[in-house]
Amino acid sequence: MNILHIDSAITGDASVSRQLTAEIVAKLKAERADATVTYRDLAEGVPAIDNDWFQAVRLSPENPTAEQQALIDTSNAYLAEVQAADVLVIGLPIYNFTLTAQLKNWFDQIARAGVSFRYTAEGPEGLLTGKRAIIAYAAAGTPFGSDVDFASGYIRHILGFIGITDVEFVPADRLAFDREAGLARAQEALDKIAA
């Protein structure tokens, strides 16, 4: 089992989502001795897509410049990690009711027509099938699944769009109001996760 472990919180060791992703990965590894882990900390920076990226990655020039090749290589590296993974463990800290900019940038880098999804006569089809995603949702005030949670629905949708439909959440929400209860909800969800 290959695990892709992704964090995106900017709060370092104080991050609840980082603590949860570490616990999820440890649980998976304890149940599967053969598990390997690739770690990616998106808080270190993920380039936003722009016109240069579009010209290089989406239009795939025959003879890319060195700058274009660097953009292609970066996007390909993110995508290769997902392609190689059996399980994605993604930290989803909630900032201003939604996902981090770094995590959104990462999704923009890997959602590529003809590579991670394709358009068909019946509509879009995800190409990264047969994978599982476990999402560590952490929010100070945004209740998981509420009308003001603009992150969890997006994550489920974009993962499904690229073919990953087996999605589980480990939510630690409303931490600013009752931290103990929020962490207890997360622990209950974590206990139910099987490798």
DSSP-derived 3-state class of residue 105:
helix
In the predicted model, what is the mean pLDDT of the chain? 96
Distance CA 71, CA 105 (A): 13
Which of 46, 44, 52 is CA-nearest to residue 72? 52
The CATH fold assigned to 2-191 is Rossmann fold (3.40.50)
17 assigned ligand-binding residue? yes
Question: Residue 152, annotated ligand binder?
Answer: no
Residue boundaries of the structural domains of the chain: 2-191
pTM, 2 dp: 0.95
15 annotated ligand binder: yes
- The model's pLDDT over 8-58, given as tens digits with 9 standing for 90+, comes to 999 999 999 999 999 999 999 999 989 999 999 999 999 999 999 999 999
Helix axes 66-84, 101-110, angle to 10 degrees: 90
What contacts 128, CB < 8 A, 6 or more positions away?
82, 83, 116, 162, 163, 164
Q: Model confidence over 175-184: pLDDT tens digits?
A: 999 999 999 9
Sign of CA dihedral 14, 16, 20, 23: positive
